[in-house]
Amino acid sequence: MASSTDTPTGTGASGGARRGVHSPDRAAVSAAHLRTDRWWLAPAATSAGLLAFVVYSTWRALSNAHYYAAPYVSPFYSPCLAESCQTMRSGPNWPLFGDWWIVSPALIILVFPLGFRLTCYYYRKAYYRSFWAAPPSCAVAEPHARYTGETRFPLLLQNLHRYFFYAAVPVAGVLTYDTVLGFRDHDYEWGHMGLGTLVMLANIGLIWAYTISCHSCRHIIGGRLRHFSKHPVRYRLWSWVGRLNTRHMELAWASLISVALADFYVYLLAVGAFADPKLF
């Protein structure tokens, strides 16, 4: 039932349409939800996982140290765009920022993968549910009285996702190049493979799988077509990306974990915790 402050169209006295469980045309159920399962487990686990990554990546990005152990470079610090990088002997480096850039070079490049993940359709669902309880789970009432979607600042910026996808592709390309450079030894001679090479290979494989499974990628490949029959190559690519897309959530988590593990591996080598085991 509509409250005395509602207009007939369900708009509150202070403006803004009342939606979802607060919509005036929904059945009035006083309980927050009728679920009897442990529905809170998923948002709680998501919060814990995302918070752990935020804490770890913030520490590593701000530390500005131990991100290079020849021939490996941490994915948090590549490509290096500042002159101060420790990786200047081993590309790819484009020192667009001179000596005046005195803070961590990771802060320059991380904007792009961070923007890509923050605006990702899956991560949006994940952090809307786990941090903002909007809603916390299916069939569980959210505490917010109004819903404006992503039509206003700052959530309007979520619509930039496609452009972050365009930025994420070259970043993944650079990390691929870094991975190839991992087949050199300490003296930069080719024909080496260490445990670090495998770590980098696994990481870049997951990063590409996550990037290509992006909803924007799927639309770029198969969208705006009237007839798939006239575009068999795009149809084939779209079908392939579509299959990956069904695993987007899993790939989002796997690649998030792998990028942190790859960075941590380089950190351990850089601080001398152990030597990179040589496979051949």
CB 110 within 8 A of CB 77: no
CB 24 within 8 A of CB 6: yes
Residue count at the site for ligand FES (CB under 6 A)?
A: 10
CB 59 within 8 A of CB 104: no
Q: Which of 69, 214, 241, 259 binds ligand FES (CB under 6 A)?
A: 214
Q: CB of 255: closest distance to ligand FES in angstroms?
A: 10
Choose the stretch contacting ligand FES; rule: CB under 6 A; options: 7-15, 118-126, 127-135, 173-181.
118-126
Interface with ligand FES includes 219 (CB under 6 A)? no
Pick the closer one to ligand FES by CB: 165 or 265: 165
The CB density around residue 188, as the number of other CB atoms within 10 Å, is 12
Interface with ligand FES includes 86 (CB under 6 A)? no
**Residue 102, CA distances (Å) to 62, 93, 107 in order:** 11, 17, 11
Choose the stretch contacting ligand FES; rule: CB under 6 A; options: 83-91, 99-107, 113-121, 223-231.
113-121
> DSSP states of 175-195 as a string?
HHHHHHHTTB-TT--BS--BH
79-87 contacts at long range (C-beta below 8 A, 24 or more positions apart): 79/109, 79/171, 79/174, 80/105, 80/109, 81/105, 81/108, 81/109, 82/108
Interface with ligand FES includes 216 (CB under 6 A)? yes
Q: CB of 116: closest distance to ligand FES in angstroms?
A: 6
Choose the stretch contacting ligand FES; rule: CB under 6 A; options: 88-96, 150-158, 214-222, 223-231.
214-222
Q: 100-138 burial, b for 16+ CB within 10 Å, e for fewer?
A: ebeebbbbbbbebbebbbebbbbbbebbbbbeeeebbbe
Pick the closer one to ligand FES by CB: 124 or 234: 124
Q: CB of 221: closest distance to ligand FES in angstroms?
A: 13
Interface with ligand FES includes 121 (CB under 6 A)? yes
Q: CB of 123: closest distance to ligand FES in angstroms?
A: 7
C-alpha–C-alpha distance, residues 172 and 180, integer Å: 12
CB 268 within 8 A of CB 196: no
Q: Which amino acid is at 242?
A: G
Pick the closer one to ligand FES by CB: 144 or 215: 215
Choose the stretch contacting ligand FES; rule: CB under 6 A; options: 11-19, 22-30, 87-95, 213-221.
213-221
Q: CB of 100: closest distance to ligand FES in angstroms?
A: 33
Choose the stretch contacting ligand FES; rule: CB under 6 A; options: 9-17, 119-127, 191-199, 230-238.
119-127
Interface with ligand FES includes 215 (CB under 6 A)? yes
Q: What are phi and psi of 268, to 5 degrees?
A: -65, -40
- Contacts with ligand FES, residue ranges (CB under 6 A): 116, 120-122, 161, 165, 214-216, 248
